[in-house]
A and B are shown apart, each in its own frame.
Chain A
Amino acid sequence: MKLQNTLLGLIAGVVMLQAQSATPDFSGVYYPIAPFGRFAGGPAAGASQRQGPPPKPTASAPLSDGSRGRSPDAPSLTPEYMAKWEAISKTRIAGSSEYDLTAKCLPPGMPAMMNMAYGMEVMQNKDKITFFSELNDALRRVYLDGRKPSQKVLDDPTYAGYSMGHWEGDTLVVETVALRDNTFIEGFTPHSDQMTVHERIRLKEPGLLEDRITVTDPKALTKPWESTKTYRKATREKENDELREFACPEGLGEAK
């Protein structure tokens, strides 16, 4: 009887400890699955060279300079921002990286940084979760303690923006505001300073992280753009759970 009660007490204690960490733990190093998406309409690998003029925009776009137009699942741009995209595409076809932030060692910015081919390192505690992009050593913080951005933060946008999150069951719901307007949504799709990003992040299964991203921009987009990314957690056994320092400006120094 006495032993039973001791056990009961122990269980009560353990349950109290457990309750402190009821939310899932996303911590770990992840790699994207199919980082560039699935090009349903693109030419198969090894297909013969296409003859004739390049296809119209809205056809599949396997080339990153936009010379084959925009992929049908790319964000739907207003005329003003489609013109911007075309202007940027021309510079890229000409071989310029004038608009390419990552080529200048700058952070990829949100939401592009959730869409990179490199590794991503997540650290998490009760009040904050951080996403570190291996590409260009860029850190993103999501505050979980209910705080809101100050006016100073809103007036001074950043690449990663200002992210606030809360848990809905096992899903982390994140809102990101105060984003610089010279970054890209994905590829080199431009956006305005009115862009906000909404995410629903969860573990689909142990080691498989899903991020459902919705980008809203009343100036640049004709409708919100939705995209789902999945990432696989690296394991110590596979020896791919240590990201290396990127130190991008090393290359800039050499290029000078």
Chain B
Amino acid sequence: MNATALVLGLATAAVLCAQTPPDFSGVYYPIAPFGRFVGGPAAGASQRQGPPPKPTASAPLADGSRGRRPDEPSLTTEYMAKWQMISKTLIAGSSEFDPTAKCLPPGMPAMMSMFYGMEVMQNKGKITFFSELNDALRRVYLDGRKPAQKVLDDPTYAGYSTGHWEGDTLVVDTVAIRDDTFIEGFTPHSGEMTVQERIRLLSPGLMEDKITVTDPKALTKPWETVKTYRRATRESGTDELREFACPEGLSEAK
């Protein structure tokens, strides 16, 4: 009888425990960071003859010289013209529009799409995502706060993120993002872009981020993408990110 009561009490404590959200803390690496190129030429395929394919064909080249992939964000006329202008500078070999080449943070949502490591730290009030590329920190506030007007008036690369738990899924809204970053690749966006994410553990050590980007000025429809990341283990020897210190290269280049 006493034992039953003890078990009951422990069970209550276990339920209290179960209500705590999952812990995303750890070092992660993206799986297939560049996506799957369904339309691209197979590795080792013979060189393509004739003119480059029209836009909306597959685009395995990062400078956009083969146009845009069908799964890339669908741009309004104004922002397609911006993209074409940026593409020209990239084809010409310029990194004028590339923030990461200037050691600047990749910005949201591109920073969730990088092929470098990502370090997550989490507590009850906050979760932080640290991008190994260019040492960029992103904070998601979980304590119900909202951005001050001062924050909204002063956008940043990472933006201002607020999140809440829906069961085991972290739902995050990001606003106040600078308009000179890219959605992915070098797809431009406006100052009205917002990012919604649903982050969860698909299985232990496998994190999924379902990203929806909305931008009434730059996008003809919201753009959706799903990223997955595998957690590094201590045994693999890959769970220690190294300091990037990007400006080292800048001072050498001067």
**What residues make up the interface of A, taking CB atoms closer than 8 Å to B?**
2, 5-14, 16-17, 25, 27, 104-107, 121, 123-125, 128, 130, 132, 137-139, 141, 143, 145, 147, 150, 153, 156, 158-160, 236, 239, 242, 244-245, 247-250, 252-253
Task: Tell me, rounded to whole Å, the shortest Cβ–Cβ distance linking B167 to chain A.
Answer: 21
Judge if B32 is at the interface, Cβ distance under 8 Å.
Answer: no
**Interchain CA distance A137-B245 in the complex, whole Å:** 10
Asked if B121 is at the interface (CB within 8 A of a chain A CB), the reply is: yes
Q: Is the CB of A245 within 8 A of B137?
A: yes
In the docked arrangement, what's the CA distance between A239 and B151, Å?
12
B10: CB under 8 A from chain A? yes
- Return the contact of A248 from the options B141, B234, B247 (Cβ within 8 A): B247
The answer for the CA separation of A248 and B105 in the assembled complex, in Å, is 10
Q: Contacts A125-B25, A125-B122 known; A104 to B247 CB distance under 8 Å?
A: yes
Taking a contact as CB atoms under 8 Å apart, the answer to whether A247 and B156 are in contact is yes
Given contacts A130-B121, A236-B145, A247-B104, contact A104 B5 (CB under 8 A): no
CB-defined contacts of A125 to chain B, threshold 8 Å: 23, 25, 121-123
Q: CB distance B2 to A5 under 8 Å?
A: yes
Q: Is the interface of B mostly helix, strand, loop or mixed?
A: mixed
Could you tell me which B residues sit within 8 Å of A by CB distance? 1-2, 5-10, 12-14, 16-17, 23, 25, 102-105, 119, 121-123, 125-126, 128, 130, 135-137, 139, 141, 143, 145, 148, 151, 154, 156-158, 234, 237, 240, 242-243, 245-248, 250-251
Main secondary structure of the interface of A (DSSP, over half): mixed
A13 in contact with B12 given A104-B251, A123-B123 (CB within 8 Å): yes
| Nearest CB on B from A27, distance (A) | 5
- Closest partner residue, chain B, to A245 (CB atom): B156
Which residue of the partner chain B has the closest CB to A129? B121
Which chain B residues border A14 with CB–CB below 8 Å?
13
Most chain A CB atoms below 10 A, which of B121, B122, B242, B246? B121
Is there an interface contact between A249 and B9, defined as CB atoms closer than 8 Å?
Answer: no
> Once the chains bind, are B104 and A250 in contact (CB under 8 Å)?
yes
Please name all residues of chain B whose beta carbon is closer than 8 Å to the beta carbon of A10 when the two chains form the complex: 9, 12-13
- Closest A residue, CB atoms, query B2: A5
Q: Which residue of A13, A107, A160 contacts B14 across the interface (Cβ within 8 Å)?
A: A13
Which B residues are CB-close (under 8 A) to A11? 9
Interface pair A6/B9, CB less than 8 Å apart: yes
- List the A side residues contacting B237 at CB < 8 Å: 150
Specify which chain A residues have a CB less than 8 angstroms from the CB of B156 in the assembled complex.
244-245, 247
A230 to B23: give the CA distance in the assembly, Å. 30
